[in-house]
Amino acid sequence: MLTRGVKFWIDKFINDLGALALPWKYKGEDSYIQVAVRPIQLWEVVFPKEHYDQVMNTIFDGMNVTQHKKHQKFVYALRKVLGVKKVKEYKTDKKYFINRQHLETVPIGIKDDYDIITKTEGL
Protein backbone atom coordinates (compact mmCIF):
# COMPACT_ATOMS: atom_id res chain seq x y z
CA MET A 1 0.00 0.00 0.00
CA LEU A 2 0.97 3.63 -0.33
CA THR A 3 -0.04 6.33 2.13
CA ARG A 4 -0.43 10.04 1.56
CA GLY A 5 -1.41 12.61 4.16
CA VAL A 6 -0.19 14.55 7.15
CA LYS A 7 2.55 12.54 8.86
CA PHE A 8 0.85 12.67 12.27
CA TRP A 9 -2.28 10.98 10.86
CA ILE A 10 -0.27 8.47 8.85
CA ASP A 11 1.72 7.51 11.98
CA LYS A 12 -1.53 7.15 13.94
CA PHE A 13 -3.04 4.97 11.21
CA ILE A 14 0.05 2.72 11.07
CA ASN A 15 0.20 2.42 14.88
CA ASP A 16 -3.50 1.59 15.10
CA LEU A 17 -3.24 -0.94 12.26
CA GLY A 18 -0.24 -2.60 13.94
CA ALA A 19 -2.14 -2.79 17.23
CA LEU A 20 -4.89 -4.98 15.74
CA ALA A 21 -4.92 -8.55 17.06
CA LEU A 22 -6.99 -10.87 14.89
CA PRO A 23 -8.48 -14.25 15.82
CA TRP A 24 -6.47 -17.14 14.36
CA LYS A 25 -6.41 -20.89 14.67
CA TYR A 26 -2.88 -22.07 15.44
CA LYS A 27 -2.28 -25.81 15.69
CA GLY A 28 -6.00 -26.32 16.28
CA GLU A 29 -6.11 -23.84 19.17
CA ASP A 30 -7.96 -20.53 19.17
CA SER A 31 -5.42 -17.75 19.34
CA TYR A 32 -4.77 -14.16 18.24
CA ILE A 33 -2.12 -12.75 15.94
CA GLN A 34 -0.99 -9.16 15.67
CA VAL A 35 -1.19 -7.48 12.24
CA ALA A 36 2.35 -6.97 10.92
CA VAL A 37 2.88 -3.56 9.32
CA ARG A 38 6.22 -3.64 7.52
CA PRO A 39 7.60 -0.48 5.92
CA ILE A 40 9.78 -0.68 2.84
CA GLN A 41 12.24 2.19 3.03
CA LEU A 42 15.04 3.52 0.87
CA TRP A 43 18.17 4.76 2.70
CA GLU A 44 21.36 6.50 1.68
CA VAL A 45 24.33 5.67 3.92
CA VAL A 46 27.44 7.85 3.62
CA PHE A 47 30.81 6.78 5.03
CA PRO A 48 34.56 7.07 4.23
CA LYS A 49 35.77 4.73 1.46
CA GLU A 50 38.47 3.21 3.64
CA HIS A 51 35.74 1.61 5.80
CA TYR A 52 33.93 0.01 2.84
CA ASP A 53 34.42 -3.65 3.81
CA GLN A 54 33.51 -3.28 7.46
CA VAL A 55 30.48 -1.01 6.85
CA MET A 56 29.14 -3.20 4.02
CA ASN A 57 29.49 -6.33 6.15
CA THR A 58 27.79 -4.56 9.07
CA ILE A 59 24.83 -3.46 6.93
CA PHE A 60 24.41 -6.56 4.77
CA ASP A 61 25.97 -9.28 6.95
CA GLY A 62 27.62 -11.00 3.98
CA MET A 63 24.40 -11.07 1.92
CA ASN A 64 24.45 -9.42 -1.51
CA VAL A 65 21.01 -10.48 -2.76
CA THR A 66 17.40 -10.16 -1.71
CA GLN A 67 15.70 -12.78 0.42
CA HIS A 68 13.49 -13.67 -2.56
CA LYS A 69 15.21 -13.97 -5.95
CA LYS A 70 12.15 -12.61 -7.77
CA HIS A 71 12.78 -9.24 -6.08
CA GLN A 72 16.18 -8.90 -7.76
CA LYS A 73 14.55 -7.45 -10.92
CA PHE A 74 13.13 -4.59 -8.83
CA VAL A 75 16.53 -3.97 -7.25
CA TYR A 76 18.06 -3.87 -10.74
CA ALA A 77 15.43 -1.34 -11.85
CA LEU A 78 16.02 0.82 -8.76
CA ARG A 79 19.76 0.74 -9.40
CA LYS A 80 19.20 2.04 -12.93
CA VAL A 81 16.73 4.74 -11.84
CA LEU A 82 19.09 5.95 -9.09
CA GLY A 83 22.15 5.80 -11.34
CA VAL A 84 24.26 3.75 -8.96
CA LYS A 85 26.66 0.85 -9.53
CA LYS A 86 26.12 -2.67 -8.22
CA VAL A 87 27.63 -3.20 -4.76
CA LYS A 88 31.04 -4.78 -5.29
CA GLU A 89 32.37 -7.66 -3.22
CA TYR A 90 33.57 -6.89 0.28
CA LYS A 91 35.53 -8.72 2.95
CA THR A 92 33.38 -10.38 5.61
CA ASP A 93 35.99 -10.87 8.33
CA LYS A 94 35.16 -7.69 10.31
CA LYS A 95 32.01 -5.74 11.14
CA TYR A 96 30.57 -3.36 13.69
CA PHE A 97 28.16 -4.96 16.12
CA ILE A 98 24.73 -3.41 15.77
CA ASN A 99 21.25 -4.87 16.12
CA ARG A 100 20.11 -6.59 12.90
CA GLN A 101 17.32 -8.73 14.33
CA HIS A 102 14.04 -9.14 12.44
CA LEU A 103 15.03 -7.21 9.33
CA GLU A 104 16.34 -7.66 5.83
CA THR A 105 18.80 -5.21 4.31
CA VAL A 106 19.00 -5.25 0.52
CA PRO A 107 22.00 -3.77 -1.32
CA ILE A 108 20.83 -1.60 -4.22
CA GLY A 109 23.97 0.17 -5.31
CA ILE A 110 26.86 2.41 -4.49
CA LYS A 111 28.28 5.70 -5.73
CA ASP A 112 30.71 8.37 -4.65
CA ASP A 113 29.16 11.16 -2.60
CA TYR A 114 30.03 14.02 -4.95
CA ASP A 115 28.23 16.56 -2.77
CA ILE A 116 30.68 15.95 0.09
CA ILE A 117 33.68 15.76 -2.25
CA THR A 118 32.94 19.09 -3.93
CA LYS A 119 32.22 20.90 -0.66
CA THR A 120 35.52 19.84 0.90
CA GLU A 121 37.84 20.44 -2.06
CA GLY A 122 40.50 23.00 -1.32
CA LEU A 123 40.28 22.69 2.45
Whether residue 33 is found in the same domain as residue 72: no
Whether residue 67 is found in the same domain as residue 115: yes
Number of structural domains found in the chain: 2
Whether residue 28 is found in the same domain as residue 80: no
Q: Could you tell me if 79 and 65 are in contact, meaning their C-beta atoms sit under 8 angstroms apart?
A: no
Please report which confidence band the pLDDT of residue 119 belongs to, taking 50, 70 and 90 as the band edges: low
Whether residue 49 is found in the same domain as residue 35: no
Whether residue 17 is found in the same domain as residue 72: no
- pLDDT reading at 118 higher than 70: no
- pLDDT reading at 19 higher than 60: yes
pTM of the entire predicted model: 0.73
Whether residue 10 is found in the same domain as residue 20: yes
DSSP alpha helix (H) spans, the chain: 7-18, 52-60, 72-82, 114-120
Whether residue 116 is found in the same domain as residue 93: yes
| Structural domain range at position 25 | 1-39
